[in-house]
Structure 1
């Protein structure tokens, strides 16, 4: 998108940018949060020597003073001072870096976008200057000095790092957690400026002229943490840029890699065990998917702990649907890296298996299929008893999609081979559920799939299937009797509980009649001070 915008700058015959105004149709004024105060530029005197500044391409830094909200001549001075600076391509290469720093200082001024009709000229001037800086970053052919890096990070920090507003969608009146798929997110009103700053930061990080050893002094732990804080922005466009930028920082600054992983880990802990609300979990998991894919073998203990303590518990929150695809990819990557982790992952899924959320259960079954596809026989045997007890419960689910998704496991060749190889253990566990489905499930598709699965077991070992079926039919009356006995016990408990409530009231009246009378009378007494 930024290339489309940059293409709107007409070039001079000498490959230099002009200062002409252009349409901004590629950038719509929509987005998340509003900036706080207007940081304006205060130039002690009005810029009377603008022609001299244009010819020299320089301006003394002490002429610029960032202050609080101001109006009138100050903002006019800002626009005039920006226009006074020469184009980067109109000055000799020896003066270009100084002019670049001056323009970075000018772009550090932040305007308030909550009022779209305010300071339109100043915002437009700043935006054109940002585009010029981005264009310069793409074709610069000299190493950035330490001073330039410092000013670049200052400009980026001034524009990007801000307090994100408290969302209006925290909870609704019924107390349900905000679902981003059902509610419209708040869009960032200053996005047409922020997007260019993100593009500038991205080009700074990826530029071959950026020395990582020097730049790490300014793109430091504090800078990375503040970037990570922005992942909680409601605006998906901002999160997409953040994802790309952080991934590039992770690739370029090797010294920051453990810190980035640890910081993301802390975000996950806060999300899982405290808030269960964060807009950027999916994007963070996308970054981690690429990171996990690059882990060297054998896996470090740190990475295995991250899987057990952070990734697997991410199945717990109610809003898992918003990031399940990315989470499933990360989990599968771990199993493909080290197949011995399959047992750990499957037991983790069973630990957080949903009880009353059918749509979430379908997602668990889909993820389970991907994990089982990468599971070897030894790991499968360690978890198959507990696993197929859960699958048996899924087969008998009254929600047809859950039952159907569980039956689809037999369509996978690798999983079917694992099951048939171990059917001496699995068939006795799962056959009662299959028989119950075949006789009376309300959904015709589930019944049909159940018969296909029965046939798979029957064809694999017909004599053993008949033996299990006979035991199942023999055990069926006992199962019905146990169910009736269980229901009878619950009815007795309900009757005892009801009678105890009545008895306790009667005993209270008989033993403490005066106390009950007083308590009853005080219920009707007027409050102190009333008439």
Structure 2
């Protein structure tokens, strides 16, 4: 059966036609590489689906690598633009872009780039100071990264004397030549940490333990301006990041241990103690055992180094704050002072006497009675010190009303301990001011209990007579020994008499 061609065309024209793809030529070559050749239209469909799936994978990867604000359709803003030139939604991205620019460390040989970086940092400070933005996690992360890059560094080896613990009162402070740049970074960090709307739950992921440890390492800087900024920053971090408080206390304790028992060198000990003075004043009552251990193992051993004069004022304040919180710690503190009491350093002894007076002012009668015997044995040595300032300072303890009241209630124990030193001063101390103070102290004791003074004087005279008789007895004993040694002849113990050779007859 033959079908006419005209009829065949009519039959085929009744079937629906497929629409031609406009992108057939552009996609056919790409999709035919990994699929069988099933027709150009089908090939294009497979190619389109594979391309879409690849784009979805790229989108998922980019959202994990790049910040959410950028991957979510936000555009990267040119860092050289001003914050006034961009819209509010773009200010976060501009803030991050400027921070990334400031992460570059610029050598001093390129002043143009240095000036540009300085201007960018000033813009960032002004933006944070305006308080108009709420920083998201990418901004917080970029901020911490920029501060770490610019601030965290290794200090050059110290060339000061090995016998000093950092700066001393006679040495001039050393200033960092890059301070004009560092100051702006520190100012930015202070304002950022102090930002009212800063999300602490997000920020603690980036201001973490590693960040805090490296921040504490900077306290060893020889520039006092840098240490002052660090003091403010650490205080703000301790106040806002409550979760980091135990770690900060432990890290500072480790710095103190290393300073006391290993190096005796640290430039920022006074600043660290100044921070902890306010921290201790905020401790809740009753005091935790952890806080008492910090007093016993860290603060009291800080009296040992030779450079205690640099930070003694701050150390005394910390110790006094502990006693204000718990008066029962007074006896423990005084025992620690007696343990580390200087023997040959008169200036250090003066500082100990001043601290001792502040501690005794806050000491109760019960705690005083626990340590009064070893305490006044030490004070007795100070009363007889040949250094007139030490002797004066020890006598001035009697001018404090609270201390005088403690002494008066326990005079039966204290007066016998110090009366020999008072009498010795009245007889042969070389300084007239010390002699006058000694007479005033003796007069106070006479007004308290004249009978006890007379009894102590009689006992002292008896002991003086006994010591004189013992000295005379020793003198006579030595004279007898010298006389006995002089009467006996000297015998040569090692002399050996010669032996005559025996003569034997010779028989022929």
Deviation at 1:186? 2.7
The answer to whether structure 1 residue 158 and structure 2 residue 149 are counterparts is yes
Q: What pairs with 1:82-97 in structure 2 (closer than 5 Å)?
A: 85-97=80-92
Contact 2:129 2:191 in 1 (8 A): yes
Residue 139 (structure 2) pairs with residue 125 (structure 1):
no
Query: Is the alpha carbon distance of 1:194 and 1:478 closer, same or farther for their aligned partners in structure 2, counting shifts above 3 Å?
Result: farther
Q: Give the Cα separation in 1 of the matches to 2:89 and 2:469.
A: 94
Distance 2:104 2:264 in 1: 36
Structure 1, 469-478 or 126-135: larger mean CA deviation: 469-478
Residue 485 of structure 1: how far off its partner (Å): 9.7
Deviation at 1:473, TM superposition (A): 2.0
* Equivalent pair of 1:288/1:330 in contact (CA under 8 Å): yes
Map of 1:196 onto structure 2: 184
1:363 aligns with 2:351: yes
1:138 aligns with 2:129: yes
In structure 2, the partner of 1:168 is 159
Q: Render the CA deviation track for 1:371-403: whole Å, top value 9, x for unaligned.
A: 000000000000000000000000000000100
Of 136-145 and 445-454, deviating more is 136-145
Name the CA shift for 1:162/1:369 in 2 (closer, same or farther; >3 Å).
Answer: same
Q: Report if aligned partners of 1:141, 1:209 keep a CA contact under 8 Å in 2.
A: no
Alignment of 1:263-274 (within 5 A): 263-274=251-262
Q: Deviations over 1:451-476 (max 9, x none)?
A: 11111111011111111111112212
Deviates more, 1:371-380 or 1:478-487: 478-487
Please list the CA deviations of residues 232-289 of structure 1 after superposition, one character each: whole Å capped at 9, or x if unmatched.
Answer: 0000000000011001000000000000000000000000000000001100000110
**Matching of residue 108 in structure 1 with residue 103 in structure 2:** yes
Is the Cα contact below 8 Å between 2:125 and 2:188 reproduced in 1? yes
Give a deviation string over 1:71-122, Cα, whole Å, max 9, x none. Answer: xxxxxxxxxx86xx11112221121111111111111111235xxxx21111
2:395 match: 407
Higher relative contact order, structure no. (Cα contacts within 8 Å, ≥ 6 residues apart): 1
* In 1: Cα distance, 2:287 partner to 2:468 partner: 50
Please give the alpha-carbon distance, in whole angstroms, between the structure 2 residues aligned to 1:447 and 1:93.
Answer: 78
- Summarize deviations over 1:3-31 as a string: whole Å, max 9, x none: xxxxxxxxxxxxxxxxxxxxxxxxxxxxx
The Cα of 1:481 is off from its aligned counterpart by 6.7
Aligned to 1:67: none
When residues 217 and 405 of structure 1 are mapped into structure 2, their CA distance, relative to the original with a 3 A threshold, is: same
Please show how residues 306-345 of structure 1 align to structure 2 within 5 Å.
306-345=294-333
CA contact (8 A) 2:299 2:315 kept: yes
- For residues 227 and 475 of structure 2, the distance between their equivalents in structure 1, rounded to whole angstroms, comes to 53
TM-score normalised by length of structure 1:
0.73
Alpha-carbon distance in structure 1 between the residues aligned to 2:412 and 2:221: 53
In 2 relative to 1, CA 319–456 (structure 1 residues): closer, same or farther, beyond 3 Å? same
Mapped to 2, the partners of 1:107 and 1:177 lie a distance apart of 35
Where do 1:60-459 residues align within 5 Å? Answer: 60=76, 85-113=80-108, 118-171=109-162, 180-459=168-447
**Distance of 2:238 and 2:467 partners within structure 1:** 58
Between the aligned partners of 1:186 and 1:237, the Cα distance in structure 2 is: 10
**Structure 1 residue ranges (4+ consecutive) displaced by more than 3 angstroms after TM superposition:** 58-61, 175-179, 477-489
Distance 1:485 1:386 in 2: 32
Kept in 2: contact 1:441–1:447 (CA 8 A): yes
1:468 aligns with 2:456: yes
* Distance verdict in 2 for CA 1:290–1:176, change over 3 Å: closer
Say whether the 8 Å CA contact 2:102–2:121 is kept in structure 1: yes
* SS, match of residue 307 in structure 2: helix
Measured after TM superposition, the shift of residue 486 of structure 1 is: 10
Instruction: Indicate the residue corresponding to 1:41 in structure 2.
Output: none
8 Å contact 1:101–1:148 — kept in the other structure? yes
Aligned-pair CA distance for 1:424: 0.4
Stretches of structure 2 that go unaligned for 5 or more consecutive residues are: 1-73, 478-493, 495-508
CA distance in structure 2 between the aligned counterparts of 1:308 and 1:243, rounded to whole angstroms = 24
Relative to structure 1, the CA distance from residue 478 to residue 120 in structure 2 (aligned partners, 3 Å threshold; closer, same or farther) is farther
Q: Is the 8 A contact 2:165 2:267 kept in 1?
A: no
CA shift for structure 1 position 433: 0.4
Structure 1: stretches of 5+ with no match in the other structure: 1-57, 62-80, 490-506, 508-531
Q: Quick one: structure 1 residues 487 and 314, their matched pair in 2 at CA, closer, same or farther if it must change by over 3 Å?
A: farther
How far apart are the structure 1 equivalents of 2:476 and 2:331? 39
TM-score between the two structures when normalised by the length of structure 2: 0.77
Which residue of the partner structure matches residue 38 of structure 2?
none
Asked whether the 8 Å contact 1:335–1:342 carries over to 2, the reply is: yes
What SS does the corresponding residue of 1:456 show, helix, strand or coil? helix
Residue aligned with 1:318, SS: coil
CA offset at residue 478 of structure 1?
3.6
From the CA coordinates, give the structure whose radius of gyration is larger.
2
Alpha-carbon shift at residue 187 of structure 1 (Å): 1.6
Could you tell me how far 1:142 is from its partner in structure 2? 2.9
Alpha-carbon shift at residue 319 of structure 1 (Å): 0.5
Q: Structure 1: how far apart are the matches of 2:266 and 2:155?
A: 12
Cα distance, 1:190 vs. partner?
0.8
Q: Give the 3-state SS of the residue equivalent to 1:181 in structure 2.
A: coil
How many correspondences in the alignment? 405
